[in-house]
Structure 1
Amino acid sequence: MPDIDASSTPQAPVGENPHYLQAVAELGNERSVVAHQDIYSSTGIKLVAKGARLTPQQFERLTQHKLSAPLDHMLESERPVDANALAAAAARILDHEPVYARLAARTGDPLAVKHALAGVKLPKALLMRLTVMRERRSEMFEHSIRAGMIAHALAQRMGLPATERYNLLMAALCHDFGEMHTDPALLAAGHDITPEERCYIHVHPVTSYVLLHDLAGFPQVAALAILHHHERLDGSGYPHGLRCDKIAPLAKLLAVADVAETIIRRFDLPRLDVLVRLNQTRFDHRVVNALRDLIHASPEDALAKPNEHGAMTQLSHLADLLQAWPVLRGSFAAAVAPRDPDDTPLAFLFERMANIRGLVLQAGFDPDHVDTMLSIAREDPGILGELRALLDELEWLLQDLANEIGRREPELVDMPHTPLNGLVSHLRQG
């Protein structure tokens, strides 16, 4: 397994994380949390005796010390998450959520994921962390279960062998463990994450990997898939900006499942279909095609009437950006002359903007005649719905490029900041 390059990777927290420890303490206030072995500080001080039920005072004491081993390895809770609980959660989803029932049915074996979850072998440390997640970060737990179900369905559809399906399922269940080390306020619904706060989000795949890659009984290929699940084929992902074959194979499935779960929860299947069509350069086309086969979206799957005013606003934003880009591009080229901009740290920027322009043209948008595009869509609600979904996804791509510029700030320190700031302003104005 490749080592993590410390020079290019945000550093994962060292020692026990206060946000996770707080979640464990909150769980301890609701049910019995017991030390199944003596808990020592890294300096050899015995903090909690084996068999003791942890009190609020003991949790407070733990926050004041670096521990000799991860807390998950030394605690157990009553009513823990186990394989049977995971299988039961999947069964409830299949029984009550038509989208997931459809996905499972189109694999040819709709109960396979339930049986697979019932057979997972969870080390005791994972039981504890999944229990804390279920009880204190329930949305994260539900996301992990559903992402696992989508990932398993993709693996079935693509004919992956049983071992790879198992490893992928383990990766999906644990891929967001690192987010439990993030301040919950940053992840709260309605909170607008600032550029300065994004570094705490971007580090979570590394944190998850650090927590899992040395854990006895956890598949190493699953840990690597977790580390890479936010990487993208075009290099626009994080934490390492890897491309194509540098990304672990199972991570390519997990990446699609992770995004698909979020879109299904927040939007509808037509929006998901648009997303995978627009992101052919970012996601593995084989996985994307498998997902499209599984979701089999139709106009009847749309949940809401599209907003015409919102579509006009988004079209105007696209038009403004694409009309401003030639001037900004000229400023970048002049600033790095006589070098070819494609041989500078700005190369990614030229590639991303070319891709965005290509997507806009493929979608039939004429940036100089946005009124015409909308008037055509206005005559057909189905076309307007498709247009709004396309615009929503293009808007997300613009925001993602602005975030990527922020992630690459150390590489861009010698690049012209005035046009960069101008581009970021255009990208974010929507």
Structure 2
Amino acid sequence: MSVDESLYIKNIAELGETEEVTVSDDVHAENGMKLLAKGTRINRSVLNRLLRHKLVKPIDQTTMINDAINRETLVTAAGALMDNNTEMGRLLRQLRDSNFPQRVFNRVRLLPVVCNKLTVAQRLYEPLFLHSLRVALAASVVGEQLGCSEAELETLATAGLVHDIGALHIEASQLHQSEQLRSEHWRQIYTHPWISHLILEEFQEYTPHISRAVLEHHERMDGSGYPHGLKGSQISRAGRILSFVDFSVATSQKLGLRHMFTIVKIHPRAFEREVVQVLAGIVRNFDEVLQPSVPRIEIGVLRNLMATVSETLSSAPMEIPLTVANPSPQLKTMMGLLQRTVQALTLMVHRIGFELKNVEFSIGRLEGDPVLQTELEVLLHEIHFRLRGLILELHRYRYADENCLKGFDLLQSWIIGTEAKVNRMRELFPDPSESDKAA
């Protein structure tokens, strides 16, 4: 698998419209043609020339961005995160002194290629940049609490900072969070750890430990992650730590750290127990700095969402009918995916203590209990995410074999109906980007 640079080159050219981005060495195409001379400014005017050819070297290896990210700017930006009045800022101030960002980013291995990527993220996709800073800081805290060696802490800090640089190469990462993902976007999301890994493995400074942890940051202990579906000890220690930290930071930005553990309760075998316990201990000791449980969705809306989930799961066709004489491999794969997802989502609901078959009883339990109400919000967010992914995957198999659903009208109608329901559910959730505005 090679890295497609076309979208990233567009990002570089876009940045060049407002900042000085120049070629640090002659840029050649693979056919030997000289495309740009050293010192040429990169902006929209040269974009088509670059996109028409495959470059000999990745664009970052021949690009110089004026006032690019360096260690000092990372420390300053991380210090600002610690100083602000967000949940994570307050927690970090309780745990570490003001020199902590300096210690963390002194450990980070910074090459010009990475500095360029981080600069593009900071200038064009600030939420992505801030997320990377938070993960580097949080991974360092967890690593220190676990007693990791200095070499391991260096791996965690660096991997935390660079784990999402591959997202700059995919369209899906650059959509507004409220926009609807299409099936091709879903596939891109699955590949972004690979892209980050491929970028890093070109440099010995990032191999093997850092690039491996980056590749594994969406793997899960129970095998439910991606891109390889690794399990348990197949994932490196740094990968297991980074996996949970990345999840925790992303979830806490949307829902708060207090409710991140609701999702851990939903998926009890997804993360390494030792790592979860470290963060759980921190949260227990500093409960006063966490956001209180404030429901964001009215009970009437929760009732509608819960009823939609109940009807969707109970109506899912779980067996291939006899009318399908010779089920194709595609259909068998689709049914296996559907069965596993429906069973997993049903179990998730039961783990939190709700009943799909008795929505009114479950909703009645929420009266006067904001903590339980917010737990249900978290659960429904997670179910919506999983259903959306399921539908996109089913569409992918269906498009690969247009005849695979022949004679199975019930599954065809369930897919179409569930897609419509998932889209309606999405409109009922608060805008997830709102939580980043104060951060």
TM-score class, shorter: 0.7 to 0.9
Match for 1:383 among 368, 372, 392? 372
1:87 matched to 2:78: no
Show the counterpart of 1:317. 308
| Shift in alpha-carbon separation, 1:235–1:123, aligned structure 2, 3 A | same
More deviation, 307-316/193-202: 193-202
Q: Is the 8 A contact 2:293 2:371 kept in 1?
A: no
Match for 2:356 among 367, 379, 389? 367
| Shift in alpha-carbon separation, 1:349–1:221, aligned structure 2, 3 A | farther
Q: Is the 8 A contact 1:307 1:388 kept in 2?
A: no
Q: Is the 8 A contact 1:86 1:118 kept in 2?
A: no
1:309, CA displacement in angstroms?
1.4
Match for 1:46 among 24, 31, 34? 34
1:69 matched to 2:60: no
Unaligned stretches of 5+ in structure 1? Answer: 1-10
1:333, CA displacement in angstroms?
10
1:393, CA displacement in angstroms?
3.0
Show the counterpart of 1:230. 218
Counterpart residue type for residue 128 of structure 1: N
More deviation, 72-81/281-290: 281-290
1:357 matched to 2:346: yes
Counterpart residue type for residue 356 of structure 2: P
More deviation, 405-414/202-211: 405-414
Show the counterpart of 1:286. 274
Show the counterpart of 1:262. 250
* Aligned-partner Cα distance in 2 for 1:401–1:289: 30
Q: Is the 8 A contact 2:173 2:189 kept in 1?
A: no
Q: Partner of 2:205: helix, strand, or coil?
A: coil
Q: Is the 8 A contact 1:104 1:111 kept in 2?
A: no
Q: Is the 8 A contact 2:334 2:394 kept in 1?
A: no
| Shift in alpha-carbon separation, 1:329–1:56, aligned structure 2, 3 A | closer
Q: Is the 8 A contact 2:266 2:352 kept in 1?
A: no
Q: Is the 8 A contact 2:107 2:157 kept in 1?
A: no
Q: Is the 8 A contact 1:73 1:125 kept in 2?
A: yes
Matches within 5 A, 1:162-177: 162-177=150-165
Show the counterpart of 2:431. none
Counterpart residue type for residue 230 of structure 2: L
- Tell me the alpha carbon deviations over residues 67-123 of structure 1, each in whole angstroms, 9 at most, x when there is no partner: 111111111111110111111111000001442234435656674344111342311
Show the counterpart of 2:87. 99
Query: What is the alpha-carbon root mean square deviation over aligned residues?
Result: 3.3
Counterpart residue type for residue 170 of structure 1: T
Aligned pair count reads 412
1:244 matched to 2:232: yes
* Aligned-partner Cα distance in 1 for 2:265–2:194: 29
* Aligned-partner Cα distance in 1 for 2:84–2:90: 11
Show the counterpart of 1:219. 207
Counterpart residue type for residue 310 of structure 1: V
* Aligned-partner Cα distance in 2 for 1:371–1:151: 42
| Shift in alpha-carbon separation, 1:146–1:345, aligned structure 2, 3 A | same
1:193, CA displacement in angstroms?
0.6
Q: Is the 8 A contact 2:159 2:210 kept in 1?
A: yes
- Tell me the alpha carbon deviations over residues 267-320 of structure 1, each in whole angstroms, 9 at most, x when there is no partner: 223321212221222222222222322334578523445420122123213322
Counterpart residue type for residue 40 of structure 1: H
* Aligned-partner Cα distance in 2 for 1:162–1:360: 41
Q: Partner of 1:90: helix, strand, or coil?
A: helix
Counterpart residue type for residue 393 of structure 1: E
Q: Partner of 2:17: helix, strand, or coil?
A: helix
- Tell me the alpha carbon deviations over residues 169-203 of structure 1, each in whole angstroms, 9 at most, x when there is no partner: 21122222222112268622321012243222222
1:23, CA displacement in angstroms?
1.2
- Tell me the alpha carbon deviations over residues 343-399 of structure 1, each in whole angstroms, 9 at most, x when there is no partner: 978556544443333332232222222112211211433332333333333443443
* Aligned-partner Cα distance in 2 for 1:73–1:370: 57
Identity across matched positions, percent: 24
1:127 matched to 2:102: no
* Aligned-partner Cα distance in 2 for 1:274–1:93: 25
| Shift in alpha-carbon separation, 1:319–1:59, aligned structure 2, 3 A | closer
Unaligned stretches of 5+ in structure 2? Answer: 426-439
